């Protein structure tokens, strides 16, 4: 194997400090998130993606849910003076 060949990483997706890079030469898949780099693979990327998506959905569901006892939040009238 030619180890002198530089690894040419390809950015698959990126937004700000979060990027997913892939090296076709050796099949390395990395998630760069801020100062952290997570080495992963295709299956783990899919797993992470689905877990994150579910977390988003669950969080949105919880935030849209009524407060305790199901009472509608009271809307306080503006201060009149």
Residues within the interface to Zn ion (CB under 5 A): 7, 23, 25-26, 28
Nearer to Zn ion, 23 or 59 (CB): 23
Nearer to Zn ion, 10 or 65 (CB): 10
Tell me the C-alpha to C-alpha distance, in Å, between residue 43 and each of 22, 49, 55.
Answer: 14, 10, 18
Nearer to Zn ion, 14 or 25 (CB): 25
Number of H helices, E strands in the chain: 1, 4
The CB-of-25 to Zn ion minimum distance in angstroms stands at 4
The CB-of-1 to Zn ion minimum distance in angstroms stands at 11
- What length is written for the chain? 81
* CA-closest candidate to residue 49, choices 74, 29, 65, 70: 29
The CB-of-22 to Zn ion minimum distance in angstroms stands at 9
């Amino acid at each position: 194997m030619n180890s002198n060949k530089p690894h040419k990483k390809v950015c698959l997706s990126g937004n700000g400090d979060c990027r997913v890079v892939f090296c076709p030469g050796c099949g390395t898949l990395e998630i760069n998130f801020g100062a952290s780099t997570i080495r992963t693979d295709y299956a783990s990327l899919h797993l992470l993606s689905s877990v994150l998506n579910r977390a988003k959905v669950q969080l949105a569901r919880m935030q849209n849910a009524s407060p305790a006892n199901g009472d509608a939040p009271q809307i306080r009238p503006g201060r009149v003076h």
